[in-house]
Amino acid sequence: MTSLSRDEINYILELVQKSDFDELKLEMGDLKLALSKTGGTAPAATPTPAGDVVTPATAAPTTPKAPISSDAGTAVPAPLLGTFYHAPKPGADPFVQVGDVITETSIIGIIEVMKLMNQVQSGVAGTVVEITAPNGELVEHGQTLIRVQP
Amino acid sequence: MTPIRKIFIANRGEIAVRIIKTARLMGIETVIGVSEADRDSLGARLADKAICLGPAPSAQSYLNVDLILHAALATGCDAIHPGYGFLSENRALAQGCLDYDLIFIGPTPDNLDAVGDKLTARTHAIASLVPIVPGDTIDTAEDAQAIADRIGFPLLIKAVAGGGGKGMRRVDHPHELSQSITLAMAEATASFGDGRVYVERLVEQGRHIEVQIISDGDTILHAHERECSLQRRYQKVVEEAPAPNLDPLLRDQIHAAALQFARHIGYVSLGTVEFLVDVKRGEFYFLEMNARVQVEHPVTEEITGLDLIQLQINIAQGIDLKLSQSDITVTGHAIECRINAEDSDNNFMPSPGRITTAWFPPMAGLRIDTHVQSNSMIVPNYDSMIAKMIVHRPTRDAAITTLARQLATCRLDGITTNIPLHQRIMTWDAFQSARFDTNSLQRFLDSAETRT
């Protein structure tokens, strides 16, 4: 049975804090620990059945740079290259705006590839904190479209 | 036609880097479309802009015509260079460029149609009086007898619906013919649901010789030939120019036939006409035309002093060729080794991974076309070629000597390469004396295996 004391966890947190790395994933036997500087993006650690380990979910957000800044939230990446549109047609209301509460299946915009319109689903539930990609401009595969605070 | 200011490169690897080199020389900007796996590639870093087309699988990135057209238009490019492989001979991309006022740096859609499938190309070869491998389709064993009387033995019976070596049967003697035809037809019916067979002359000792064509539509020139017989499973391993041990009269006939074919189909751009040379009979037959720049183009550039990519770009932007045939002369000899990330001692298993150190020490006449550097990652998603080692020297012997030295000195650490194979080829007597055909390399590999 592997376990870590509170002090040991604190020590690891300090190491991560001082390093250039944003994330740490540690596996020792049946213990799994995931830490993230930005918080939220790394999957929460799975507590071992034994339950004698500190849940890192509380440990992870100890070092947020800016809790509710435009950097916050989970990035929704462009599923394909194309031209990103905020609204179904020019002049219409945008699919989503900052502050909107959306679900995983909410449509957040359209990506057009050679006149073929592809609806983009959020994939993340939460509150829209930023519309990152400008309307009517080319986005590459994987580029951040919007940010959602889960 | 308006001059090209910005080229979209729809390719990866060394050819992307090669295109960027000439574009920079010409003062043309470049945008490269890369897959997720190639975001950090040398081409992505050298281009003025890199844009991610999609995930690593080619079908979702390098082979997606719409993504490439969209990316080229949205980034303000006026031309697309397709490189080789991927979409380089894709009619939809060439036509898409026409439809959206982009310049396709390659031939016309009609040219691609003319050479796109072997049967159409063969029809054009016949129409332009370029020799093809003698043979014909047959319905009965009697038909086969008539063809055999005309072309002699040995013969090859091929299933019309077959391909890749399937449905082929060799016939050495007249008395075997009738029975072999019956068997081949039954096999073809069982395997392909199509019993039609084709009988053609079997070239026992053949050389793969190809002619570089440069055409602006009015001026059609050849930049001499390349010898590419050293192949493994239809993949070229070593290429050279000019072709050694080739009868001068035959050489002239091959050049003339290549020009004849290109002229007949109204070919525009760079292209290569491939021939099979029957060593024993001293004849040659048309194989196919490749409507793109070829991997092995550097050996032609080295012996002629031409920049083929520059010519290709200029032809595409409507600048007439300022060359005549007599301007294209041959100086010295050039040989290219294709360096692949594969284990030539272990059944050519691909060996992707990170190259810790890449070092090609400078030597007189050496040219390395590559996209790898120290710390480069060789991703497993694409072909395994990582560098082309090209040497141009006054003589063939001197070129072999320099290549052997380069192969022994260079460093490509961290992955397994086929450099040991190239080293063996450089010291192989059949290579040194230029007496080899398209089967020689496989026999050489088989005999090396039996020895160890």
Q: Distance of CA B374 to CAs B16, B341, B387, Å? A: 18, 14, 13
Examine the pLDDT at B70 and tell me if it is beyond 80: yes
A137 to chain B nearest CA, in Å? Answer: 8
Chain B residues near any Cβ of chain A (below 8 Å): 33, 36, 51-55, 61, 66-67, 69-71, 74-75
Q: Which of B292, B338, B393, B396 is catalytic?
A: B292
How many other C-beta atoms are found inside a 10 Å radius of the C-beta of residue A100? 17
- Please give the pLDDT value at position B168: 82
Examine the pLDDT at A39 and tell me if it is beyond 80: no
| B53 contacts in chain A (CB < 8 Å) | 81, 140-141
pLDDT in tens, B1-45: 679 999 999 999 999 999 999 999 999 999 999 999 999 999 999
- What lies within 8 Å, CB to CB, of B177 at 6+ separation is B141, B144, B145, B148, B155, B171
Tokens of B147: 């063809």
Q: Rounded mean pLDDT of chain B? A: 95
Please answer yes or no on whether B51 and A116 come within 8 Å at the CB atom.
Answer: no
* Beta carbons of B334 and B303 less than 8 angstroms apart: yes
Tokens of A20: 């250039």
* A113 closest CB neighbour out of B33, B55, B67: B67
Q: Distance of CA B15 to CAs B11, B85, B181, B376, Å? A: 7, 10, 45, 16
| A140 contacts in chain B (CB < 8 Å) | 51-53, 71
| Cα–Cα dist B312/B406, whole Å | 30
- Please give the pLDDT value at position B165: 61
| Helix, strand, or coil (residue B19) | helix
Q: What is the mean pLDDT of residues B354-380?
A: 97
Least reliable range by pLDDT among B62-71, B84-93, B369-378, B440-449? B440-449
A85 to chain B nearest CA, in Å? Answer: 14
Cα torsion B368, B371, B372, B375: sign: positive
Which residue did the predictor score with more confidence, B261 or B346?
A: B261
Nearest to B310 by CA among B12, B21, B29: B21
| A116 contacts in chain B (CB < 8 Å) | 66
| Helix, strand, or coil (residue B24) | helix
Q: What is the mean pLDDT of residues A14-30?
A: 74
Q: Distance of CA B198 to CAs A121, B111, B129, B169, B194, Å? A: 54, 27, 21, 10, 12
Tokens of B113: 């149609």
> Annotated catalytic, B292?
yes
Categorize the per-residue pLDDT at B389 as very low, low, confident or very high, splitting at 50, 70 and 90: very high
| A141 contacts in chain B (CB < 8 Å) | 36, 52-55, 61
Which residue did the predictor score with more confidence, B387 or B158?
A: B387
Residues 60-99 of A with CB under 8 A from B: 80-83
pLDDT in tens, B116-175: 888 899 999 999 999 999 988 888 888 889 999 999 899 999 888 776 566 688 999 999
* A141 closest CB neighbour out of B54, B66, B74: B54
- What lies within 8 Å, CB to CB, of B409 at 6+ separation is B361
pLDDT in tens, A62-87: 333 333 334 679 999 999 999 999 99
* B74 closest CB neighbour out of A80, A83, A116: A83
Say what angle helices B308-316 and B297-304 make with each other, to 10 degrees. 100
Phi/psi-derived region of residue B392, left when phi > 0, alpha when psi is between -120 and 50, beta in every other case = beta
Please answer yes or no on whether A80 and B70 come within 8 Å at the CB atom.
Answer: no
Interface confidence (ipTM) of the complex: 0.82
- Please give the pLDDT value at position A57: 37
| Cα–Cα dist B448/A114, whole Å | 53
What proportion of chain B, given as a percentage, has pLDDT over 90? 86
- Please give the pLDDT value at position B142: 86
